[in-house]
Amino acid sequence: MTDQPVSNEFPTRRRDPEARPLQILDAAFHEFGDRGLAGARLDDIARRAGVAKGTIYLYFPNKEALFREMVRSTVVDAIARGEATNAEAHPDDSAESMLRRLAAAWWAFLREERVMVLHRLVNAELRQFPDLMAFYAEEVIARGRRLVSGIVARGVERGEFRPCDPLVAARMYAALWMTHATWVNNRELHPTLGTDEHVLDEMLDFYLNALRPVAV
């Protein structure tokens, strides 16, 4: 799914019923981005989507359900694509090449506006919603770490990488990529950053060198 940047303009009303869930989700991204998870109201989401409030209930029973679908349609879909790519990997593919493919895809994805909106909501508000926190922890954090740790474990088993805990390596990977994605979207605070491509090269160089066996 390719997301368009979030704008402040209300979308034009769409009359195709099949488009309504996407129309409502688009409005929810705007409202949650502007007002936060606690502050957003279904009335305002409906108004922005150009539908009656009752129409939202045909697809989403509450704000929490909307948030879950926002996560599934962005981050969970991206993880699923990564899992599918790994499943199709050739037996001779190196763990490094697999990490490089995943890194390039995630680097582009993590800097999308909708992902940044979710990142802000998760860090600022999700602790107020224990059920959503548990959902996000399992569907995004745990699943994403399993994806990366599986590649790292492959590298350790083959001697490409030094012995290490793959889950710890996966946590370091997530921290490095997510933090830099936030920084490049706030370049005025980090003026020494190079181009997006240069930052990706720096992260890969740092991360892969941390995993490679120590020369004797």
pTM above threshold 0.75 = yes
Alpha carbon distance 75, 172 (integer Å): 18
- 35 to each of 41, 43, 72, 122, 201, how far by Cα in Å? 9, 13, 21, 14, 35
Distances from the Cα of 34 to the Cα of 140, 211, 216, angstroms: 23, 40, 54
DSSP single-letter state for residue 159: T
What is the rounded distance in angstroms from the CA atom of residue 32 to the CA atom of residue 38? 8
Question: Rounded to whole angstroms, how far apart are CA atoms 139 and 134?
Answer: 9
Mean pLDDT for each consecutive 10-residue tract of the chain (216 residues)? Answer: 42 59 93 92 93 92 94 95 91 94 93 91 94 96 96 96 97 95 91 93 96 83
DSSP letters for 44-111: HHHHHHTS-HHHHHHH-SSHHHHHHHHHIIIIIHHHHHHHHHHHT--TT--HHHHHHHHHHHHHHHHT
Rounded Cα–Cα distance for residues 102 and 92 (Å): 17
> In 3-state terms, what secondary structure has residue 186?
coil
Report pLDDT for 1: 38
CA distance 38 to 125: 8
Predicted pLDDT at 5: 40
- Asked if 13 and 26 count as a contact pair (C-beta separation under 8 A), the reply is no
Delineate the domains of the chain, giving CATH numbers in brackets: 17-59 (1.10.10.60), 63-211 (1.10.357.10)
The single-letter DSSP state of residue 126 is G
The pLDDT, as a whole number, for residue 2 is: 39
Q: What's the rounded Cα separation, in Å, for the pair 70 and 118?
A: 8
Number of alpha carbons in the 13 Å side-chain half-sphere of residue 72: 10
Neighbours of 56 (CB within 10 A): 24
Q: What's the Cα-to-Cα distance from 9 to each of 24, 135, 157, rounded to whole Å?
A: 14, 31, 52
